[in-house]
Amino acid sequence: MRVMTHLRDVKMIKDRTQGEIEPMKHVIGLLKKHNVKMDEDFLVKLENSKTALVDVSEKALGTVKEAILPLQNKEATNIKDRLRKFEIKVAEFRQTFQTNCPYNISNSTPETIEQSYIIIGEYYIKTLEMEEEARDLNNLETLFDM
């Protein structure tokens, strides 16, 4: 997982940084257009940085990714199975929630109201657990480019 996390981080940083280079070029061009003095040629440095970024990301993403591809595919299959099971779990949760939650109470005795709050509290805790599981699965999907 550490390798996949590293690869994801490199890819995200590369994509984000490359997206920032063009606006920087426009700013430098605008500054030059308005005769702002600059000690160095920032456009050349920016292009060199872009090239270095591509080289580093290709080293990280290219050879390492090829080496782990079979393991990645196997784990992606396992994650897809977990996702299917989670979908079923969510559908079952939804069904039990709709069946068991106190929507309309005919008699509003203190005991009935207290029991309703207990049921809602239990479903709240279950919902938080399912949200956490969904975040974990979402993270795995991101790691494995799914």
Residue 47 lies in domain: 2-143
pLDDT for 12 equals 81
pLDDT for 84 equals 96
In DSSP notation, 11-71 reads HHHHHHHHHHHHHHHHHHHHHHHTT---SS-HHHHHHHHHHHHHHHHHIIIIIHHHHHHHH
Q: Mean pLDDT in runs of 10 for the chain (146 residues)?
A: 77 83 85 79 81 82 76 87 96 93 81 90 96 93 79
pLDDT for 45 equals 83
Domain count, the chain: 1
pLDDT for 3 equals 74
Query: Which among 20, 19, 18, 36 is positioned nearest to 28, based on CA atoms?
Result: 36
pLDDT for 120 equals 93
Length of the chain: 146
Rounded Cα–Cα distance for residues 119 and 97 (Å): 10
pLDDT for 87 equals 96
Rounded Cα–Cα distance for residues 93 and 29 (Å): 57
**Residue whose pair of structure tokens reads 């005769």 in the numeric block:** 35
Query: Which among 98, 93, 79, 77 is positioned nearest to 131, based on CA atoms?
Result: 93
One-letter amino acid at 20 equals E
